[in-house]
Amino acid sequence: MSKKNKKSEKTSEPKTKKHEQKTEHKVEPKPEHKPAVKKDTLPLKNKLINGAILLIILTAFSLMAIFMAQKVLEPTNLGNILPANQTVAFATINVADLSTKTTLSEDYSLNPANLEKTVAGYLNQESFDLLKSWFGSQIAIALIADTNQSIEKIYFLEYQSRSEAEKFLNSLTVEDESLSRETYEGHTIYSYSLSQNFSACFISNYMVISQNAEILKLIIDSSKGSSSNLKSLSAYNTIADNLPYDATGIAFWNVELYPDLAASYLPIYDMIPEALIAPVMSIFNGFGAAIQANADGFYIQTYTSVDKELLADNSYFSLVKKYNADLATFIPSEPEMFFGGENLQGEIAKTVSVFQQFNESAAIIFEGILRGAIKDYFGDSIDVDDDVYPIFEDEYAISAYENEEGVKKYLILVGLGDSEEKQIHIDTLKQGFLTQQIYSEPYVKTYVLQDGSEGKEVVADLVEILNEQVVYGSNTIDMFYLSNGTSLAYMTVLNNTLAISTDLDLLKQSVDLMNGSGSESFEDTENMLALTSIIGSADEASVIDIGAMKDSEFWGIEFFSPFSSISSGKNFFDDGIATFHMLHY
């Protein structure tokens, strides 16, 4: 089968209610750190690796739903009963769906048996046995802000027999204790004077549990229409319209009212300065996620809604060109990580525009970091706008590998389009790069002190960057190395594609694929075939080999433990951003 035919065979993903298929292409955008003015003295190879890692971080926000689903679990009609102005977030999961559609390991947190133990724990039970006679299939948790803005956890348990559920509540009393009943707006609130520390009531199809009976009254009011519920929020409805109907799990975050929630659960500020996140967060008013379990793994879809009135008529979310992952043909097979997109220069420009409109100081910080890093690599004579950005107007792809010794290898491909014009910019950057003086990898230097004893110190030598050309077949490869012999990177331009790698053999494999003589391309792998279905509705896409990361300290790796890889995509619409993730067993 030809590669062209393979690309046309795209498996279908679950359709959302609103954006079933995208026809117009759209682009996106704890101490405060000032951009450094002095020269960077880190070894250049470390800087190259850090630069690649920084690009990976840009995808972190799109994965937020995965981690929220662990912290915040819920049922599909909670939007009708949760209060609009007090609900921070909620999440739900269908235990029966997991039981019939998945085969999760016994120690995995979302294994149905473990979820049942968690539910039993909500009710101070050691086992789930007493709940089986009345429990349905849905469990949920909502975070509700009380009048003092303290966050309360509220649990929802779907019931199939209310009479059995009431018997269960009665069974929790101890000797000489009776179940207290308070009637509020036609609902009975049950509570205990001795044995239990929670109150409960029945709303819709759920037993609702809280340690604060006043919170239950808030939910009763919103469910009866005495106060507004989540369905009155435009952000909630936008998100609901863009997520699948038949989800195994659902999560929602009221970003507009409670923008600081993510920092409570995710180490965001460890990765990106708060001064850069706040302006972007101000644009979004809601975030939702849906998980669908199937025989192959989890399909996760998220939607982040934007405040269209705040954006006015500005086209921050508009793409000129569609991403097709053409460069995947030149990526050697089985990378640990693949990330691709279109027009990186345009994405940066949109991000700067967002910062300038909503927080000018953040725009200065963001541009200062970028321009400072570029000048550290290529010198003060480089004009970022004229010499650097024009190179990144077309498709780009980043892939990472690991050799048998555990050393990371990176390959970066950039489509050049008009390569003759862009070759001038590449040559300018090359000359600027060669003029830089940097420090070698630190090493321990031993010397003799005046008293005859031995002294040691960690030092790094100032070294030059040198360049020579390596001939590979009919192609010429530029090799960059330090005057002490340490190799840095390899570069070539072929088939209107700029290729840069930290490993010569890896670059040669890519060159072979460009010449048509290579045999093992990423495009021919199962991961790429899985990614193809996501590319059909994405403006950026990535694949991560989870198996290669299981021994790492990557935050949240426990959630990914049952899976081998994750394929992801991102799509921009005029009212928000959609992301798609397929977790494969």
Q: pLDDT tens across 416-460, in order?
A: 887 677 888 888 888 888 887 777 778 888 888 888 888 888 887
In contact, 285 and 305? CB cutoff 8 Å: yes
Judge whether 396 lies within some domain. yes
| pLDDT tens digits for range 140-170 | 999 988 777 788 899 999 999 999 999 999 9
Query: In terms of residue numbers, what domain contains 352?
Result: 3-58+329-567
Is 385 exposed, middle or buried, given 0-12, 13-18 or 19+ CB atoms closer than 10 A?
exposed
pLDDT-wise least confident of 37-46, 373-382, 437-446: 37-46
| pLDDT tens digits for range 260-287 | 666 555 555 555 566 656 666 677 788 8
pLDDT of 75 above 60: no
Q: Are residues 106 and 177 in the same domain?
A: yes
Judge whether 123 lies within some domain. yes
Mention every residue, 6+ apart, whose C-beta is less than 8 A from residue 404.
Answer: none
Is 353 exposed, middle or buried, given 0-12, 13-18 or 19+ CB atoms closer than 10 A?
middle
Beta-bridge partner residues of 290:
250, 301
Final residue before a domain boundary, out of 207, 228, 249: 228
Number of domains in the chain: 2
| pLDDT tens digits for range 79-136 | 889 999 899 899 898 888 888 887 777 777 778 888 888 888 878 888 888 888 899 8
Judge whether 491 lies within some domain. yes
* Confidence (pLDDT) at 169: 92
Q: Are residues 492 and 544 in the same domain?
A: yes
pLDDT of 9 above 60: no
pLDDT of 396 above 50: yes
Judge whether 107 lies within some domain. yes
pLDDT-wise least confident of 34-43, 199-208, 553-562: 34-43
Judge whether 323 lies within some domain. no
Buried b (16+ CB within 10 A) or exposed e, 121-154: ebbeeeebebbeebbbbbbbbbbbbeeeeeebeb
DSSP class of residue 415? E
Q: Are residues 42 and 96 in the same domain?
A: no
Q: Are residues 393 and 473 in the same domain?
A: yes
Q: Are residues 511 and 426 in the same domain?
A: yes
Q: Are residues 406 and 522 in the same domain?
A: yes
Q: Are residues 475 and 562 in the same domain?
A: yes
For residue 204, give the amino acid letter. Answer: S
Final residue before a domain boundary, out of 192, 208, 228: 228
Q: Are residues 9 and 98 in the same domain?
A: no
How confident is residue 513, by pLDDT bands cut at 50, 70 and 90? very high
* Confidence (pLDDT) at 315: 55
Residue 38's alpha-carbon distances to 90, 373, 375, 379, 384, in angstroms, are 46, 11, 11, 12, 18
Q: Are residues 101 and 23 in the same domain?
A: no
Final residue before a domain boundary, out of 201, 228, 255: 228
pLDDT of 188 above 90: yes
Question: What Rg, from alpha-carbon coordinates, does the chain have?
Answer: 28
Q: Are residues 151 and 45 in the same domain?
A: no
In contact, 331 and 338? CB cutoff 8 Å: yes
Judge whether 63 lies within some domain. no
Closest CA to 426 of 488, 483, 494: 494
Mean pLDDT (the chain, rounded): 77
- Highest averaged pLDDT of the listed ranges 119-128, 504-513, 543-552: 504-513
Residue 549's alpha-carbon distances to 53, 402, 468, 554, 558, in angstroms, are 14, 11, 35, 7, 11
Q: What is the pTM of this model?
A: 0.71
Q: Are residues 134 and 30 in the same domain?
A: no
Closest CA to 89 of 216, 264, 210, 221: 264
* Confidence (pLDDT) at 564: 80
Judge whether 296 lies within some domain. no
pLDDT of 8 above 60: no
Q: Are residues 354 and 454 in the same domain?
A: yes
Judge whether 306 lies within some domain. no
